[in-house]
């Protein structure tokens, strides 16, 4: 009888350029398809669940690999023809039917809860995602990089994973007026021979164009972000913009020298027209400075604030805390339903805008303070302010831990958490769920064709 030594089978080693068969199991948090090859997780942008693809490996790391679709052997019934064929962000899900995008966004919330496992998460009610009737042409702000390509001035976004700017003559999620302004200003820059930025050489002047359209008035604010304080042919450029684009009522320059990762520099100056433009949600009006944060989808923002109002179930004697108040949008929207609103933010310009917006809307029961919540809120509590309701709308990083501690010290009976990141929301619920009942989570699709989702969470003190 022959004895054979068992030989250990070496795991298959993936290498870049290798073509592999994959069955796509689900979508990841960035909208990419996820499959497994010999037990190794592989992320494939552009692939959809239940598709069988041949994927070309692009990168191999110890815990995972990335790949691109080489061809599709079995096509998902949910695959649709995208309107845009650019390799840039902001349209990661355009090849997925819109109904399935909404299903995916509810599932994102579920995935985040299962990962962080806040108390009682298995019983949380996740409501169906609120979508749009027409999930295109909704973005009222464009922030496009400006470069020169083959002697032409182009405007667009970075190719994914690179600093190469992709020219975007069209972009279906942008409102048409924002695209019209971007394209025509590029033509004017080219005609006037104004040097545009060259990142490799750190030379040239115009780096970025930021265009914001008012959904309610169709007026436009244009900010030209430059590499230097000097803007060659400034007078001629302003004159040409005013002649060709009467919709542009506000022209500003922001100075951001050097190879900065941040788009905006510290200094912004008015070149022509008015300093701010006005937007309206329902009956409330808001003046917006160039750097003011305002949701990019006014139609869905109105629905979002209505859902916040419903979740808070405010009464006329309520004292409302508006943390991360920004330019005062949520607090002012709700002000007439309560006895008072107090808000805070760490950005001085935002607080200045919030105070102005309160005045514009005749909100005499609203007050705003510049400072961090962990400093401001305890001071208010000591002075006798006891919020009966609170709304928090933090950035993608979620609640600052000091704010969370201050909030749990105040413990308003009614709390609504507006999140733009299910992962940090689920993390924050680990602490909040110890003291609050999570009544429901309501996803709202603020950014169709992308994997991003906004969530309104209703919480009541136990």
Catalytically active residues, by annotation: 420
The span from the CA of 368 to the CA of 345, in Å, is 8
- Long-range CB contacts (< 8 A, 24+ apart) of 304-310? 304/418, 304/444, 304/446, 304/454, 304/456, 305/281, 305/329, 305/330, 305/333, 305/334, 307/130, 307/442, 307/444, 307/456, 308/333, 308/334, 308/391, 308/416, 308/418, 308/456, 309/333, 309/334, 309/337
- Are 449 and 91 in contact by the 8 Å Cβ rule? The answer is yes
Locus of tokens 């990089």: 145
> Is residue 199 classed as helix, strand or coil in its secondary structure?
coil
Which pair of structure tokens corresponds to residue 118? Answer: 């806040």
The span from the CA of 227 to the CA of 258, in Å, is 6
The span from the CA of 451 to the CA of 94, in Å, is 10
Residue 112 CA to its chain's centroid (Å): 18
Question: What b/e readout covers 415-438, taking b as 16+ CB neighbours within 10 angstroms?
Answer: bbbbbbbbbbbbbbbebbbeebeb
Write out the E strands in 227-293.
248-255, 267-273, 277-281, 284-288
């Amino acid at each position: 009888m022959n004895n054979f030594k068992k030989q250990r089978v070496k795991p298959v080693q993936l290498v870049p350029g290798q073509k592999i068969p994959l069955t796509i199991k689900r979508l990841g948090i960035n909208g990419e398809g996820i499959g497994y090859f010999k037990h190794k997780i592989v992320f494939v942008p552009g692939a959809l669940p239940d598709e069988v693809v041949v994927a070309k490996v692009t990168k191999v790391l110890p815990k995972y690999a990335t790949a691109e679709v080489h061809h599709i052997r079995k096509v998902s019934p949910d695959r649709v023809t995208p309107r845009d064929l650019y390799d840039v962000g902001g349209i990661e899900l355009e090849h997925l039917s819109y109904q399935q995008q909404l299903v995916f966004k509810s599932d994102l919330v579920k995935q985040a809860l299962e990962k962080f496992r806040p108390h009682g998460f298995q019983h949380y009610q996740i409501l169906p995602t609120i979508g749009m009737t027409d999930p295109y042409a909704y973005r009222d702000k464009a922030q496009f990089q400006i470069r020169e390509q083959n002697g032409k001035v182009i405007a667009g976004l970075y190719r994914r994973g690179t600093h190469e700017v992709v020219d975007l003559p069209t972009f279906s999620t942008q409102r048409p007026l924002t695209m019209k302004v971007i394209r025509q200003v590029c033509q004017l820059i080219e005609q006037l021979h104004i040097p545009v930025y060259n990142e490799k050489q750190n030379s040239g002047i115009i780096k970025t164009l930021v265009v914001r359209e008012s959904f309610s008035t169709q007026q436009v604010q244009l900010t030209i972000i430059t590499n230097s304080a000097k803007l060659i042919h400034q007078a001629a450029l302003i004159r040409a913009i005013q002649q060709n684009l009467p919709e542009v009522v506000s022209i500003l320059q922001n100075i951001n020298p050097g190879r900065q990762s941040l788009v905006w520099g510290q200094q912004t100056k008015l070149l022509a027209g008015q300093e701010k433009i006005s937007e309206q949600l329902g009956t409330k009006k808001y003046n917006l400075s160039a750097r003011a944060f305002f949701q990019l989808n006014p139609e869905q923002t109105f629905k979002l604030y209505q859902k916040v109002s419903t979740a808070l179930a405010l009464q006329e004697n309520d004292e409302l805390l508006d943390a991360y108040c920004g330019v005062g949008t949520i607090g002012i929207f709700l002000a007439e339903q309560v006895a008072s609103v107090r808000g805070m933010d760490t950005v001085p310009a935002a607080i200045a805008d919030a105070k102005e917006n309160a005045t514009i809307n005749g909100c005499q029961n609203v007050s705003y303070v510049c400072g961090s919540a962990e400093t401001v809120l305890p001071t208010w509590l000591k002075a006798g302010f006891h919020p009966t309701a609170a709304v928090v709308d933090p950035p993608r990083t979620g609640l600052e831990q000091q704010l969370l501690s201050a909030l749990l010290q105040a413990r308003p009976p009614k709390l609504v958490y507006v999140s733009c990141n299910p992962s940090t929301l689920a993390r924050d619920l680990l602490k909040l769920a110890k003291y609050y009942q999570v009544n429901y989570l309501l996803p709202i699709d603020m950014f169709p064709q992308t994997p991003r989702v906004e969530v309104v969470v209703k919480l009541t003190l136990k």
